[in-house]
Amino acid sequence: MKDPDTLRVELRSSRLAAAIIFVTHVATAGLLALAPGHPVLRAVAVAAIGAHALGAVRTWALQSVPRAVVSVELSADGQIALVERCGRRYEGRIRPESYVGAQLTTLVVRRNGAHVSRAIAILPDMLSTEELRRLRVLLRYRAMS
């Protein structure tokens, strides 16, 4: 049986990711703002959460920072290439910790020669329906082989 061709997909910005980031960070900041403790420390913690939210939105939802992954190339043998906005290309292997679900797909990638993995979350509005289906099928096919 012939292995499927390499799949190349371009990731789009995600309103769903922005909403998830906004809700989770506002809830966390609200809890910290109401927690007991010195008001200055609580204010600093809330400001830090706001800064983290801004960075997360720019990296994951808007993909506007140089290190944001904007393209994925995946082959049936588990080889993967990630292309960042700045043009840098990382090659590696897909890890078994990757997850394929109806509403969320996570790619856990270990770059060649690296000791740590990188996780990329893909939501349904980041790809066309057909591209998302092909990606999920290829990931499930790879898990079975």
DSSP secondary structure letters along 80-134: EEEEETTS-EEEEEE-TT-EE-SS-EEEEEEETT-SSEEEEEE-GGGS-HHHHHH
Q: Which two tokens stand for residue 140?
A: 């499930």
Where do the structural domains in the chain lie, given as residue ranges? 7-12+68-144, 15-61
| Confidence bin at 142 (pLDDT 50/70/90) | confident
Q: Which class is domain 7-12+68-144?
A: mainly beta
The pLDDT tens digits for 42-97 are: 999 999 999 999 999 999 899 999 999 999 999 988 899 999 999 999 999 999 99
| Global confidence as pTM | 0.85
Q: Using CA atoms, how far apart are residues 22 and 19, in angstroms rounded to an integer?
A: 5
Strands 69-74 and 89-94: unpaired
The pLDDT tens digits for 115-126 are: 999 999 999 999
For the residues 7-13, what does the mean pLDDT come to? 95
pLDDT score recorded for residue 124:
95
Q: Using CA atoms, how far apart are residues 11 and 107, in angstroms rounded to an integer?
A: 13
| Confidence bin at 1 (pLDDT 50/70/90) | low
pLDDT score recorded for residue 140:
86
Q: Which two tokens stand for residue 119?
A: 């996780």
Q: Using CA atoms, how far apart are residues 136 and 139, in angstroms rounded to an integer?
A: 5
Residue 114 φ/ψ region, left for φ over 0, alpha for ψ in the -120 to 50 degree band, beta for the rest: beta
| Confidence bin at 4 (pLDDT 50/70/90) | low
Best CA proximity match to 29, nearest among 10, 19, 43, 12: 43
